[in-house]
Amino acid sequence: MSKLDLRKRLGPLYDARSEPALVEVPAMSYLMIDGSGDPNAEGYQQATEALFALSYALKFAIKKGGGPDYGVLPLEGLWWVDDLAALDLQHRENWRWTSMIMQPDQVTAELVERTREEVRKKKQLPSLDRLRFETFEEGLAAQVLHIGPYADERPTIERLHRFVEDNGYELRDKHHEIYLGDPRRAAPDRLRTILRHPVRKRQ
Domain boundary among 114, 136, 158: 136
- 147-198 pLDDT, tens digit per residue, is 999 889 999 999 999 999 999 999 999 999 999 977 767 788 889 999 999 9
Q: Are residues 80 and 98 in the same domain?
A: yes
Print burial letters for 59-85: b (CB count within 10 Å at least 16), e (below 16).
bebbeeeebeebebbbbbbbbeeeeee
Domain membership of residue 120 as a residue range: 28-136
Looking at the structure of the chain, the number of domains it has is 2
Q: Are residues 32 and 116 in the same domain?
A: yes
Q: Are residues 158 and 113 in the same domain?
A: no
- 26-56 pLDDT, tens digit per residue, is 999 999 999 998 888 888 999 999 999 999 9
The answer as to whether 3 is a domain residue is no
Q: How many CA atoms lie within 13 A of 198 on its CB side?
A: 12
Burial class for 97, CB neighbours closer than 10 Å (0-12, 13-18, 19+): buried
Q: Are residues 17 and 39 in the same domain?
A: no
Pairwise CA distance, residues 24 & 75, whole Å: 20
pLDDT over 70 (residue 2): no
Binning pLDDT at 50, 70 and 90, where does residue 83 land?
low
Q: Are residues 102 and 36 in the same domain?
A: yes
Domain boundary among 95, 121, 136: 136
pLDDT over 90 (residue 89): no
pLDDT over 80 (residue 91): no
CATH number at residue 53: 3.20.80.10
H/E run at residue 144:
strand 139-147
Quote the pTM value. 0.93
The answer as to whether 4 is a domain residue is no
Q: Are residues 74 and 62 in the same domain?
A: yes
The answer as to whether 1 is a domain residue is no
